[in-house]
Amino acid sequence: MYKAENIKGKKSIRTEKIDRKSKAFPEKLRRIPNPPKQIYCTGDLSLLEKKSISVVGSRKFTLYGKNVAMMIGRRLGESGIPVVSGLANGIDGFAHEGVLEAGGKIIGVLGSGIEKMTPRRNRKLMMQGLEMGGLVVSEYEPGEEARPYTFPARNRIISALGEILVIVEANFNSGALITAQNAADQGKEIFVVPGNINSQFSMGSNLLIRDGATPLIVIDDLIREIGIVPPDIVSEERTFAEDEKTIIEELKNLGSASIDILAEKTGKSPASVGAILTILEIKGVVVSVAGQIHLAK
């Protein structure tokens, strides 16, 4: 089974080696303190010349982080800006998912050879990205396995390929902080999504803001920063029943809440709150994660 998949993988992915000495080697990478000797690419090479934005974050995430990562991905995808990220679990993956949802282009930078794509569960995402005209880059030979040190090492390529680095959610020991350090060394602008100051998941990213990174308040700031005019936002009006409105209002106040808390606040029975939330879920207004109800988007 494993072998068959491997052979299939070899068939569908054709990689191209670009040596540092070659003219095709991207200028962005040549300029950094310790450029890779060569890169292996697959997909649309012209993306390397375009102005792009890197979005990273930790593997573990809150729903807030996930939503923001997807929002950023979608918006950048709509604006036609390629998004560079690590194709890792968590925030990296969500940013790319957002881009693909909006029909944009992704640039994935791997910590392993392209054929040995790690983590394997995101292989589908990578293939989808490639199908939609994206690009995957790695400094390792296609058949090389990932090792613990290869992931931090590829972070310098992530930060180098983007004009700006955006950090969505990062813990104290997140790899995203290494990317931030690299970006600082390379002289890139760093935007950080502010998180709750009591959230474990935003501890590292909030510290970056304290140390001088720009807090990301409006996503379009990113687009303006690299000199592109953001496209108009298409908004849709929706109608809700009175009960539904009460709950949406309450969720707007609380951010997120369990069904019990919502029942308590609105004075309804947990049974009817559950029923209303199901209808809102069908309408795509709320999502439930680990027992917490959140407004979608």
Partner 1 sequence: MFSKVKSAVCLGIEGKIIFVETDITRGLPQMNIVGLASATVMESRERIKSATVNSGFDYPHGRITVNLTPADIRKNGSGLDLPIAVCMLTSCMYVNKAKLAEYGIIGELSLDGKVIGIDSVLPMVFSLIKNNIKRIIVPAGNYPEAALAEGAEIIPVSTLRECINVINSDCDINNLRDRFKTRIKRTSKFEGFDFSDIKGQERAKRAITIAVCGRHGMLMVGSPGCGKTMLAKRIPTIMPEMSGDEIIETAIINSVSGKNNKEGCVCIDRPFRNPHNSIGKAGLLGGGLYPVPGEISLAHNGVLFLDEVCEFNREVLDMMRIPMEEKSIIHFRMGQAYKFPCNFQLVMASNPCKCGYYGDQERLCTCSQFELDMYRKKLSGPILDRIDLKILMETVKYNQLSSRSRNSDSNLMKNEALKGIDFAKAHGREYGNANIKDKDIPVFCKLGFSEEKFIKEAYKSLNLSPRAYNKTLKLARTIADMDESERIREEHIAEALSYRTISNAY
Shortest distance, position 146 Cβ to partner 1, whole Å: 14
Nearer to partner 1, 107 or 263 (CB): 263
108 membership: H or E segment, kind and range: strand 106-109
Binding mask 48-67 for partner 1 (x = CB under 8 A): -----------xx-------
Give the residue carrying structure tokens 């474990």.
Answer: 200
| Listed residue (225, 162, 206, 170) closest to 188, CA to CA | 162
Which 199-228 positions form the footprint of partner 1 (CB under 8 A)?
Answer: 200
Nearer to partner 1, 68 or 263 (CB): 263
Q: Distance (Å, rounded) from C-alpha 128 to C-alpha 73? A: 15
Residue 276 touching partner 1 (CB under 8 A): yes
DSSP code per residue over 128-181:
HHHHTT-EEEESS-TTPPP-TTHHHHHHHHHHHHSSEEEE----TT-HHHHHHH
- Note whether 140 and 24 are within 8 A (CB): no
Q: Distance (Å, rounded) from C-alpha 213 to C-alpha 221? A: 14
- Count the site residues for partner 1 by CB under 8 A: 32
DSSP code per residue over 58-73:
-SS--HHHHHHHHHHH
- Tokens read off for 66: 């996930």
Nearer to partner 1, 234 or 290 (CB): 290
Nearer to partner 1, 184 or 279 (CB): 279
Residue 271 touching partner 1 (CB under 8 A): yes
Query: DSSP assignment, residue 99?
Result: H
Nearer to partner 1, 38 or 89 (CB): 89
Sign of CA dihedral 153, 187, 38, 162: positive
- Note whether 277 and 259 are within 8 A (CB): yes
Binding mask 133-172 for partner 1 (x = CB under 8 A): ----------------------------------------
Shortest distance, position 275 Cβ to partner 1, whole Å: 4
Neighbours of 244 (CB within 10 A): 18
Which one of residues 10, 260, 296, 297 is an interface residue with partner 1 (CB under 8 A)?
260
At residue 132, what are phi and psi to the nearest 5 degrees? -90, 20
Which 96-125 positions form the footprint of partner 1 (CB under 8 A)?
Answer: 119
The stretch near partner 1 (CB under 8 A) out of 105-113, 130-138, 141-149, 280-288 is 280-288
The stretch near partner 1 (CB under 8 A) out of 70-78, 155-163, 187-195, 273-281 is 273-281
Nearer to partner 1, 92 or 163 (CB): 92
- Note whether 151 and 59 are within 8 A (CB): no
The stretch near partner 1 (CB under 8 A) out of 79-87, 176-184, 234-242, 277-285 is 277-285
- Tokens read off for 230: 């953001």
Residue 89 touching partner 1 (CB under 8 A): yes
| Listed residue (182, 164, 183, 180) closest to 222, CA to CA | 164
Which one of residues 207, 225, 292, 295 is an interface residue with partner 1 (CB under 8 A)?
292
Residue 12 touching partner 1 (CB under 8 A): no
The residues of the shown chain that bind partner 1, judged by CB under 8 A, are 59-60, 89-90, 119, 198, 200, 258-261, 263-264, 269-279, 281-282, 284, 288-292
